Amino acid sequence: MENKHIIVAAVGGEEDAIFLSIKEFHAEQVILICEKEYAKEAERIKRDLERFKISCRIEMMKGPVWEEIFRIIRATVEQAPEHSEVIINVASGRGLMNCASTSAAFVNGLKAFGVNDKGEVMLLPVLKFNYYTLLSDRKMKLLKILADRDCCSSLEELAERARMSLSLVSYHINGNLKSDGLLQLGLVETKEQNRRVHVELTTMGKLLLKGYV
């Protein structure tokens, strides 16, 4: 059975990119991700699509761009009917939304496309990347501890809370030649404060813990 295409597109002033994708992929449904300032534009696009019998739903963003883009795309994938393929439009929104959409497609192993200067749709390479296959139970434990706003002023404090040795915590954070640590995976960042190493979650780390990745 041929897959049905669901296009997810951010609304941000590039309407042509949305309609080009409908023609290219014969989409049966379009999910529009929208900020308040583009609500009228999204409603207009929705009406135009429905004239052509294409189902359309508007998802209003309620928080930070990265978190909302990842949340909506993840929910779309989980709710998609069987034999439906979700494809991400990374050309229709404003810069930051397009960047977040590209990253969400990458970590979810979804097709994504842009539009070149000639108005041609270009598929991007599908990069299947699953954080969960790279994260041991101990790495996940460290991430969950770091999600606590009161943690952690130092690696020593993190080790104490995790009940791990300092050397083991350092290994899971920094990795080695054979295994990437949380730092290399882009899930944490470190900085030196008062001669101690402070560790905190990155945006991607927070998104992963919320189940959006």
Q: What is the pLDDT of residues 48-101, one digit of tens each?
A: 999 989 999 999 999 999 999 999 999 999 998 888 899 999 999 888 999 999
Residue intervals of the chain classified under CATH 3.40.50.10770 are: 4-123
Do residues 124 and 112 lie in contact, with contact meaning Cβ atoms separated by under 8 Å? yes
How far, in Å, CA of 3 to CA of 38, rounded?
30
Does the domain made of 131-209 have the CATH classification 1.10.10.10?
A: yes
Residue intervals of the chain classified under CATH 1.10.10.10 are: 131-209
Number of residues assigned to the chain: 213
Instruction: Specify the CATH class of 4-123 in words.
Output: alpha beta
Quick one: pLDDT band at residue 129, thresholds 50, 70, 90? low
pLDDT value, residue 173? 93
Mean pLDDT of the chain: 88
- Measured over the CA atoms of residue 163, residue 166, residue 168 and residue 170, the dihedral's sign is positive
Residue range 4-33: average pLDDT? Answer: 88
pLDDT value, residue 7? 94
Cα dihedral 48→49→55→59 (10° resolution): -70
How far, in Å, CA of 190 to CA of 184, rounded?
11
Residue range 188-212: average pLDDT? Answer: 86
Do residues 21 and 122 lie in contact, with contact meaning Cβ atoms separated by under 8 Å? no
Residue 44 has pLDDT above 90, yes or no: yes
How far, in Å, CA of 169 to CA of 90, rounded?
37
Burial of 37-60, coded b for 16+ CB within 10 Å and e otherwise, reads ebeeebeebbeebeeeebebebbe
Which has the higher per-residue pLDDT, 72 or 133?
A: 72
pLDDT value, residue 128? 65
